[in-house]
Structure 1
Amino acid sequence: MPGKAKTILMWVVIVFLLYAVVQSPDRAADIVQAIWDVILGAFQSFGQFVQSLMK
């Protein structure tokens, strides 16, 4: 992907995210919380896997 197209795409995504947060901050917070829960769950599962390997 050419550099200029990549930059334009990045700005479009940033503007869309800002618009989404301004229009519905509660919904945006719910989405961020859900993503955080998924990431946290993945790290916890990985930790349990490594711990089971060490036993």
Structure 2
Amino acid sequence: MPAKAKTFLIWLVVIFLIYAIVKSPDRSAEIVRALVDVIVNAFKSIGQFFGNLLA
């Protein structure tokens, strides 16, 4: 992909995210909370997996 096209797409995504946050901040906050929960649960699962390997 050409560098200018990649830069344009990145800016397009950033502008869309800013628009989505401004248009619906409550929904954006729910999405962020859900993503954080997924990440935290993934790390807990990985920790539990390695803990069970060592047990």
TM-based fold match above 0.5: yes
Q: Within 1, Cα distance between the matches of 2:26 and 2:53?
A: 41
> Equivalent pairs: percent with the same residue?
58
Per the normalisation by structure 1, the TM-score is: 0.98
Q: Structure 2: where are the runs of 5+ without partners?
A: none
Q: Structure 1: where are the runs of 5+ without partners?
A: none
What letter matches 1:30 in structure 2?
E
Task: Show structure 1 runs of 4+ deviating over 2 A.
Answer: none
1:8 corresponds in structure 2 to 8
Give the alignment of 1:1-55 within 5 angstroms: 1-55=1-55
Q: Within 1, Cα distance between the matches of 2:2 and 2:35?
A: 30
Per the normalisation by structure 2, the TM-score is: 0.98
Q: Within 2, Cα distance between the matches of 1:2 and 1:42?
A: 35
Aligned length, in residue pairs? 55
